[in-house]
Chains A and B, each alone.
Chain A
Amino acid sequence: MTEISPADEAVPVVLRVNGTDRRIAAEPRRTLADALREDCGLTGTHLGCEHGVCGACTVLLDGEPVRSCLLFAVQAQGAEIRTVEGLADDDGTLHPLQEAFWRHHGLQCGFCTPGFLMLSAGVLETRPDIGDEELREALSSNLCRCTGYQTIVEAVRSVRDAAGA
């Protein structure tokens, strides 16, 4: 019979985050979000609800936007994880989406921003010519309480249009 580890006993986990392997010890019940924030020190991934609605914790898992509060860290082993800290270039140059959010005033308090940036990055990388309606629908995955959304939509649209030009 296979022995099952207790949920509160840490096991070794390797997470590949922004191109770097992170070796951590995580309880099986530890969420990917908590592992990124507390074990990897990557606190740019935010927690707004911890039940999968608000999307502030959105990261890319093998290129797909996922809610990191709804995944266990152990489930993410072997996957390429990307977080907001990996968006800008190594020399500090902002990613076009970060530039666009800045230019279009797509953030106010900034708490939802990492989630929206990663959601938008995932959407534009997989569907670079996404239509306006579909883009709006995709962005309805996440919540923002400050901006009223319009400037977020304008920011993402401007990056899509610049890439397609």
Chain B
Amino acid sequence: MSWVGRSIRRVEDPTLLRGVGMFVGDIGGAAAVRFVRSPVASGLIRAVRGPAYTIEDLDADGVGNIEAVLHRPDYVRLAQPLLARERVRYVGEPVAVVVGDTAAEAEDLAEQVELDIEPLPAAVGIDGALAPGAPLVHPDESDSNVMVAGEMATPGLAEALDRAHAVVDLEIVSGRQAALPLEARGSHAVTERFGGRTTLHASIQAPHMVRTVICDLLGMPEADLRVVAPDVGGAFGQKLPLAREDAIVVWLSRRLGRPVAWIEDRSENLMASWHSREQRYRLRAGFDAEAHLESLQADVVANVGAWPCYPITWGVEPLMALAELPGPYTPEHYGVRSRGVASHTCPMSPYRGVSRPAITLALERLMDIAAPRLGLDPVEIRRRNLQSDFPHTSPTGLRHDEGTYREAMELAVRHVDLGAFRSRQHVARAAGGPQPGIGICTFSERTGYGTPAFAARAMGVTPGYENVELSMDPSGYVTVRIGASPHGQGLETALSQIVADEVGTDPGRVRVVASDTDRTPYGWGSFASRAMVLAGGATYLAAQQLATKLGSLAAEALEAAADDIVLADGRATVAGTSVGVDIAELARIAHHHTQRLPAGATPGLSVQAGYDPAGTFSNACHVAEVDVDPDTGGVSVRRFVVVEDAGRLINPMIVDGQIRGGVVQGIANALLEEIVYDEDGNILTTSLMDYLPPTVAEIPDIEILHLETLSDATVTGAKGVGEGGTIGAPAAVLNAVNDALAHLGVELNEMPATPERVRAAVRSATGTPAGPTN
């Protein structure tokens, strides 16, 4: 029986359950680092007084600037200092740094530092940053706040819109949000007294990349820096880019010759870590008489904050929107302008889903708004428009491998029993009070992409591949060293299942080593729903090589043909016979009796493999049922159904965990979570009393059904699944809220749909029924 496909318990868990995991804040034994941060959104630094290090100290040591680069003509290149130089550009920007013996002492020292800053007007929000005469965030480098602007159009777009049977215009807005890992960021560095080698432990997603950029900044060989991501308490994209604080922690430990640690507090995390999602989409869509989406024109703006993030740059949100906006649909004509606009606010990094929650919100609101105008219901309009011929090449050249776009929707609709829901809704409409609504969302998710996809972005560094080193030791146990960097996903367990099947052992005899640059091959880490596809694929290929080696050893020992050897249950046997040898015995021979190996064979049992696929598309359909109280604007989610196709499920329990956790973040993005600035650029949401992640009280159980299209785009047949939950949920919830209030003529296209926004939408409603009618 195969191990792949079974929901075995996670090998990661016992340590975490006993409370003996090792997160950065648990290491201890270090002086405390505290950053002094700008209290104003924009200003000129006149003086910094007090017991602190500033940019002058970094400059004196020759520390370099961060350069997050896209090689494209419409991209503004900047050199970002590790501490503010001359100007501050957002509330929370690090200006100075202090070191104390304890965290309390460091806080006391930080309070003694006086920042003399001349405040300047700030550009806040998309409209504020784009307005004529808006304060410029980087006046020396650019005469506008537009930092990247992609544009493309297929021929004939304007004509296609002109001759469309129906044209639908739509604006959707996504508020600014934070990934909010429960463990905030942090780092801990120790420099050896002799030799001068530094070890950095940091709460990050990509240790090898972080080592490269810190060594570039500090002018040191990579061999002299070991970077370890110990247990990481959630990340969701926020711990992917370089944190300037981590580079400064390394610099301080080398300069002071003592261990130092920075443990970010929650207020810093909300104010000055990374934000995401502040976007506006304006769509014009042309449908033909059969309700096919023929032409799609989009204007996208993402407020990307004050600085780019390394290495992904501030192109990540706007350019993903440009490339992936057509989603699961097939417009023949597509045109888009997508801009990243800088503002005096916290910089942006990827957050689970990146642009796709907003892309999907735009497309799925479009379908629900277009449906009644075309005399259709939300199911039928999607049925007519979802991709069904594979592979499909999008107008931007993305190849969609085989999926189940329509099948997923049909299954979801059957599962929820739409007819029964409409009957309940009919009764509730007559009764008044809270109104039930239902919302459908279908989407595709590009996952598991390697170098080709990143190369198309023309990044200063090009991520993509993953390498795996795999060895069987003399005891017959397998060690898998990976470049990916799991932080709670359960990748170690899933990889051990793949290895166990290929080499005929059980997962208990497999150990996965990750997240330590001294012990793993160079790789890119865990992000972008890639680890199972990339590290899983490389592991699968390496395990096959190991199996081949074991097969030839067994053939030699058993005097049989290598093709006849079967590896299973810890034994190598000759097919169809009981003649066999323990795999552990073969491991002994490979290491300790190499005189018995065939001439020319390499001693030991070590192999390595790389994997670098073009990518694959997962797909799903989400259905949300909500109750909306038109009098209070309160929304409660009553039911949530997911039909997901993520290809082969290596460990279904883990996959469901990824989906469920993602959906809950998506529901919160749709209804609760928003980073708010006032008009002067002061951030108003710096505690968990102001920024509202959901508790179990706001969240229903999530019903999950699977379709399993074994992808030919990946060697394991698995597709990525880390982000899908968060991508689909906002649109499903917003469509449900609109459905609930359709009889009042309400149209609400902004997330989060807070009670305030729902009430405003009810007050300004036309009174003319709109929306789905099936």
Chain A residues engaging chain B, CB cutoff 8 angstroms: 8, 27, 29-30, 34, 37-38, 42-51, 53-54, 56, 83-85, 87-88, 94, 98, 101-103, 105, 107-114, 117, 136-137, 139-153
B663 in contact (CB, < 8 A): yes
B696 and A46 contacting across the interface, CB-CB below 8 Å: no
A142 to B695, CA, bound (A): 7
A121 to B501, CA, bound (A): 38
Task: Tell me the nearest residue of chain A to B22, going by C-beta.
Answer: A43
Complex interface: chain A residues within 8 A of B108 (CB) = 8
B664 partner, pick from A30, A47, A148, beta carbons under 8 A = A148
A107 touching B16 in the complex, CB below 8 Å, given contacts A136-B696, A140-B697: yes
A83 and B19 contacting across the interface, CB-CB below 8 Å: yes
Complex interface: chain A residues within 8 A of B232 (CB) = 109
Task: Tell me the nearest residue of chain B to A146, going by C-beta.
Answer: B661
Which B192-236 residues have a C-beta within 8 angstroms of A? 231-234, 236
Complex interface: chain A residues within 8 A of B233 (CB) = 46, 48, 109-112
A50 to B108, CA, bound (A): 17
Which B649-678 residues have a C-beta within 8 angstroms of A? 653-654, 656-657, 660-665
Interface centre among B12, B233, B487 (most CB of A within 10 A): B233
A149 and B234 contacting across the interface, CB-CB below 8 Å: no
Complex interface: chain A residues within 8 A of B696 (CB) = 136, 139-140, 149, 152-153
Query: Distance (Å) between the CB of A91 and the closest chain B CB?
Result: 13
A49 to B266, CA, bound (A): 5
Selecting from B175-183, B367-375, B762-770, the interface stretch reads: B175-183
Task: Tell me the nearest residue of chain A to B697, going by C-beta.
Answer: A140
A148 and B660 contacting across the interface, CB-CB below 8 Å: yes
B660 partner, pick from A30, A117, A151, beta carbons under 8 A = A151
- A-B residue pairs in contact (CB < 8 Å), sample of 30: A27-B104, A43-B19, A43-B22, A43-B28, A44-B19, A46-B233, A50-B266, A51-B266, A53-B687, A53-B688, A54-B688, A85-B18, A87-B18, A87-B19, A94-B18, A108-B661, A109-B16, A110-B231, A110-B488, A140-B695, A143-B693, A145-B182, A145-B234, A145-B661, A145-B665, A146-B661, A148-B661, A148-B663, A148-B664, A149-B664
A98 touching B10 in the complex, CB below 8 Å, given contacts A54-B182, A137-B697, A145-B236: no
A114 and B19 contacting across the interface, CB-CB below 8 Å: yes
B23 and A46 contacting across the interface, CB-CB below 8 Å: yes
Which B682-737 residues have a C-beta within 8 angstroms of A? 687-689, 693, 695-697, 699, 701-702, 725
Interface centre among B9, B19, B26 (most CB of A within 10 A): B19
Chain B residues engaging chain A, CB cutoff 8 angstroms: 9-10, 12-23, 25-26, 28, 103-104, 108, 180-184, 231-234, 236, 265-266, 487-490, 653-654, 656-657, 660-665, 687-689, 693, 695-697, 699, 701-702, 725
A50 touching B265 in the complex, CB below 8 Å, given contacts A148-B661, A149-B699: yes
A49 partner, pick from B13, B488, B657, B688, beta carbons under 8 A = B688
Interface centre among A46, A101, A113, A145 (most CB of B within 10 A): A145
B695 and A51 contacting across the interface, CB-CB below 8 Å: no
A103 to B432, CA, bound (A): 44
Complex interface: chain A residues within 8 A of B23 (CB) = 43, 46, 111
A146 touching B687 in the complex, CB below 8 Å, given contacts A51-B266, A114-B19, A152-B696: no
Task: Tell me the nearest residue of chain A to B656, going by C-beta.
Answer: A105
Q: How many A-B residue pairs have CB under 8 A?
A: 169
A8 to B540, CA, bound (A): 56
B695 and A107 contacting across the interface, CB-CB below 8 Å: no
Complex interface: chain B residues within 8 A of A153 (CB) = 696
Query: Distance (Å) between the CB of B771 and the closest chain A CB?
Result: 28
A34 to B32, CA, bound (A): 14
A146 to B156, CA, bound (A): 46
B657 and A109 contacting across the interface, CB-CB below 8 Å: no
A65 to B395, CA, bound (A): 56
A32 to B16, CA, bound (A): 21
Complex interface: chain B residues within 8 A of A145 (CB) = 180-182, 234, 236, 661, 665, 693
A108 and B489 contacting across the interface, CB-CB below 8 Å: yes
Query: Distance (Å) between the CB of A37 and the closest chain B CB?
Result: 8
A43 to B9, CA, bound (A): 25
Known: A8-B104, A140-B695. 13 other contacts (CB 8 A): A37-B25, A42-B19, A46-B233, A105-B654, A107-B17, A108-B489, A109-B16, A109-B234, A112-B233, A113-B19, A140-B696, A145-B182, A150-B660
Query: Distance (Å) between the CB of B664 and the closest chain A CB?
Result: 4
Query: Distance (Å) between the CB of B547 and the closest chain A CB?
Result: 30
B19 and A150 contacting across the interface, CB-CB below 8 Å: no
Interface centre among A98, A111, A148 (most CB of B within 10 A): A148
B695 and A56 contacting across the interface, CB-CB below 8 Å: no
A102 and B9 contacting across the interface, CB-CB below 8 Å: yes
A84 partner, pick from B19, B231, B236, B699, beta carbons under 8 A = B19
Task: Tell me the nearest residue of chain A to B651, going by C-beta.
Answer: A105
Complex interface: chain A residues within 8 A of B490 (CB) = 108
A142 to B21, CA, bound (A): 20
A110 touching B663 in the complex, CB below 8 Å, given contacts A85-B19, A140-B697: no
Query: Distance (Å) between the CB of A153 and the closest chain B CB?
Result: 6
Complex interface: chain A residues within 8 A of B10 (CB) = 102, 105
A141 to B233, CA, bound (A): 19
